[in-house]
Structure 1
Amino acid sequence: MEQVIGKAQKTRVRYGMLALVFINVVINYLDRSNLSVAASSLSKDLELSPVEMGYIFSAFGWTYAVLQIPGGLVADRFGPRILYAFCLITWSVATVCQGFARGFASLFALRLATGMFEAPSYPINNRIVTSWFPDNERAAATAMYVSGQFIGLASLTPVLVTIQAYAGWKGLFVITGLVGLVWGVIWYLSYRDPLDHLGVNQAELEYIEKGGGLFRGKKTGTTHTSVWSWENIKLVFKGRTLWGVYIAQFAVNATLWFFLTWFPTYLVKYRGLDFIKSGYLASIPFLAACAGVLLSGFLSDKLVRKGWSVSAARKTPIIVGLILSTSIVGANYSTETAAIIFFMALSFFGAGMALISWVFVSLLSPKHLIGLTGGVFNFMGNLASIIVPIVIGYLAKDGDFKPALVFIGALGLLGACSYIFLVGKIERRA
């Protein structure tokens, strides 16, 4: 039964705002992963080698990772409504233009532009969830919007493959970019902060605030100039706990970026699967990852409600997930397609479990630096988007993909060790 505060039953506007963020994430990852679907045909038409494709896959991450800290600062300074609309529209324009790329240089530059304009997106997501949700619902809310990347890719990968089959890789980029342009306008018309939304009542605001939601004192989207100081930047780089979370996020994203970049090519080129068939098989690990992140989020919140310490309730599902992600190595010892997809799905299920790690940004960051801390967290994690595709390109250049999968599995183990040995007591920084 819906909790009643005073005489008024609280509204549930926060779930509507979460749904909007969920769709943002679907489109966000649609425009990150469309290149992986296009890669086989695109590399032939533009005559790109595996090493060159490794650099093309990584180009998004160069600007995306480097701009995470500025993106976090921008998320603290400007409101999600305007900033997210700007980001959606600009990265979608860059996506459309990728359909007209004529070679390595132009495609590389456009992927750099896509990463640049997407950079503030996850700090904004975290800022929105921190504003709209109390502490005891935040892991589940984080899991819900993070699941958008997997639900969207699982359901849309076969669609993307079909679009390319009929419209070519150029048409694929144009169509996915146009979707983002339209949604950018819808977002601007639909989203409001808690204090600005006409549909939210005082009971819901009190419920959010008493539970630790941060929207009072300053409106989301405004900040003091002190946020931009070097002292604040140093603050979010200090301490073993934060560094443990940062290192582990790199490991989680290593698995994620394998699936966002090389996975379809692995199935088609290195495992000899039919292109259309590979599109349907590729959706299975994404569904598994979605199940992992949802299970982890709701389980973590349930453990908190049962009286587990915050440290144990938040860290346990993540550690288990990172250990499971190492199972990707099992594909090296499999010849049957079903077994290969099983190990891939199990690995991505584990990585999905670990992706509730965004909840630590809300738990550990200073209250006035949530966006900045989220930017640093995402910067450290998304160094994987630069390093992993390039390393895989070099490891697989001679036609053997086995070393690449060992590399991904080893990083998963590193992430688990980081949470076990580096991340200590969970408490907010001053």
Structure 2
Amino acid sequence: MTSGTTTPARTGRPSKVRVIVAVMLFVTVVINYMDRANLSIAMPALSGDLDLSTAQQGLLLSAFGWTYAAMQLPGGWLVDRVSPRVLYTLCLILWSLATFFMGIVGGFAALVVLRLLVGALEAPAYPINSRVATAWFPERERATAIGFYTSGQFIGLALLTPVLSWLQAAMSWHWVFILTGVVGIVWGAVWYLVYREPRDSRANEAEIDLIRSGGGLVELAEDRPQERPRNTRGDVATVLGRKKLWGIYIGQFCLTSTLWFFLTWFPTYLVDYRGMDYIESGLLASLPYVAAVIGVVSSGLVSDLLLRKGVSLSLARKAPIITGLLLTTLMAGAAFTDSTALVITFLSIAFFGNGLASITWSLVSALAPQRLLGLTGGMFNFIGNLSSIATPIVIGFLVTDESFTPAFGYMTAVTVVGILSYVFLVGRIERVSERQPS
């Protein structure tokens, strides 16, 4: 996985190239979510400069979600056919260019168009992450790896929200987009130069054997795109016709709804409904992200520890998810207090729970038919990220000038649906058959 193609060394001790892969995925996720959240950070100032109504703000905040959701299935199709090295490089550079130009244009319509482009180009990101993790990590390490790189979305937001808020206050909202765009373009080049598939990397045979014997699908990385058959209607019927898969689809929608609240309306809530300035809101907004980081890291470690202790795969994977969703319902407490400290406490506990539940992608690799991993991941991400459309729009309709309480009620109800989905639909964790059940 280092730059250049090399012949794997043949030694007895497994190398640790997969650790570098995890770090690269982590950095990519940081950039991915930085480019999702930059608009919400800029929105209070941007909406004032452009004199945007609440309806226009909701439309602009949801624009990413329209194309992000619409491109999930095409994105999954691409993931099954184009190498992660090439596909991630193209996506990173192109969505970062669109982000960069958001800092240059000055009109509402142009911002909407560019945000639509960012959404479309980020669509393959998490299916790529899942494919890379499935090829590079054995089952007993996979949840830890997924938890580690997923924590990037929260660590990045925890560290960069205050920085970008300060940048906006010191200069202007334009620089929020310019800076984040440049960072993504540079990292796209780094990804292309450094990432390799297992057999083309410096991973030795011992590491590759460890991955394969532990359930890692190294052969995914060895397949040639032109050799892969086209997805048929029957394939689509498979990923849409299984109760277990619908359980994780619905659960992901509910889990991701909380994330999209924080990525869209949270800074506006702090500024407009709690009366904070940009810098204060940036500092306080980082606290729930810190809590989410702790939740994400704990989730993967606890899940894999349970698995190594002999606990069933079903319990080891589902226990952190359901526990996390239960904690997320405490978001409702923010609606019943005027104390800023208590509001941040309730929201931090809720986002900790959201992070604790974030190993849901490990269920995709465990449940999906092996041949349809990309298509299943695309469907999972598509349905899950319909919340990126629904959340900003629904909250925009529910809140009033005086009260944000209906928004917290909506978020709590959605979370309860997610809990029920994992309890009653997912059931035992085992790979779904491609054949229709009799």
Q: TM-score, normalised by structure 1?
A: 0.96
How many Å apart are 1:334 and its aligned residue?
1.4
1:32 aligns with 2:8: no
CA 1:300–1:99: 2 relative to 1, 3 Å: same
> Between Structure 1 and Structure 2, how many residues are aligned?
424
1:287 aligns with 2:310: no
Superposed CA deviations along residues 28-50 of structure 1, whole A, max 9, x for unmatched, are 00000000110000001111112
In 2, Cα distance between equivalents of 1:349 and 1:218: 34
In 1, Cα distance between equivalents of 2:11 and 2:127: 36
Partner of 2:47: 43
Partner of 2:357: 354
Superposed CA deviations along residues 118-150 of structure 1, whole A, max 9, x for unmatched, are 010000000000000000101111101110000
CA 1:7–1:23: 2 relative to 1, 3 Å: closer
Partner of 2:218: 215
Letter in 2 for 1:236: V
Greater displacement, 309-318 / 396-405: 396-405
In 1, Cα distance between equivalents of 2:42 and 2:224: 37
Partner of 2:175: 171
In 2, Cα distance between equivalents of 1:342 and 1:270: 17
Percent same amino acid at aligned positions? 52
Partner of 1:276: 279
In 2, Cα distance between equivalents of 1:36 and 1:100: 17
Letter in 2 for 1:169: W
In 2, Cα distance between equivalents of 1:221 and 1:323: 43
Greater displacement, 200-209 / 218-227: 218-227
Partner of 2:17: 13
Superposed CA deviations along residues 96-133 of structure 1, whole A, max 9, x for unmatched, are 11113333211111110000010100000000000000
Partner of 2:241: 238
**What's the secondary structure of 1:168's corresponding residue?**
coil
Are 2:135 and 2:220, in contact at CA under 8 Å, matched by a contact in 1?
no
How many Å apart are 1:7 and its aligned residue?
6.1
Partner of 1:263: 266
1:152 to 151, 156, 162: 156
**What's the secondary structure of 2:219's corresponding residue?**
coil
**What's the secondary structure of 1:236's corresponding residue?**
helix
In 2, Cα distance between equivalents of 1:304 and 1:325: 24
Give unmatched runs, 5+ long, in structure 2: 1-9, 434-438
Are 1:364 and 1:427, in contact at CA under 8 Å, matched by a contact in 2?
yes
Letter in 1 for 2:128: I
Give unmatched runs, 5+ long, in structure 1: 1-5
1:129 aligns with 2:133: yes
CA 1:45–1:220: 2 relative to 1, 3 Å: farther
In 1, Cα distance between equivalents of 2:223 and 2:19: 17
Letter in 2 for 1:57: L
1:308 aligns with 2:286: no
1:378 to 372, 378, 381: 381
How many Å apart are 1:239 and its aligned residue?
1.2
Greater displacement, 99-108 / 262-271: 99-108
Letter in 2 for 1:140: T
Are 1:136 and 1:305, in contact at CA under 8 Å, matched by a contact in 2?
yes
Are 1:95 and 1:114, in contact at CA under 8 Å, matched by a contact in 2?
yes
Superposed CA deviations along residues 282-316 of structure 1, whole A, max 9, x for unmatched, are 00000111111111111111111111111111111
Partner of 1:3: none
How many Å apart are 1:398 and its aligned residue?
3.5
Q: TM-score, normalised by structure 2?
A: 0.95
Superposed CA deviations along residues 297-343 of structure 1, whole A, max 9, x for unmatched, are 11111111111111111111100111111111101111111111000
**What's the secondary structure of 2:172's corresponding residue?**
helix
In 2, Cα distance between equivalents of 1:125 and 1:112: 22
1:120 to 116, 120, 124: 124
Alignment RMSD: 1.3
In 2, Cα distance between equivalents of 1:42 and 1:217: 44
In 2, Cα distance between equivalents of 1:232 and 1:138: 25
Letter in 2 for 1:188: Y
How many Å apart are 1:54 and its aligned residue?
1.0
In 1, Cα distance between equivalents of 2:162 and 2:55: 26
In 1, Cα distance between equivalents of 2:240 and 2:396: 31
Superposed CA deviations along residues 236-278 of structure 1, whole A, max 9, x for unmatched, are 1111111011101000000000001110110010111122111
Partner of 2:86: 82
Are 1:79 and 1:220, in contact at CA under 8 Å, matched by a contact in 2?
no
How many Å apart are 1:216 and its aligned residue?
2.3
In 2, Cα distance between equivalents of 1:254 and 1:146: 16
In 2, Cα distance between equivalents of 1:347 and 1:218: 37
Letter in 1 for 2:83: G
Are 2:11 and 2:204, in contact at CA under 8 Å, matched by a contact in 1?
no
**What's the secondary structure of 1:231's corresponding residue?**
helix
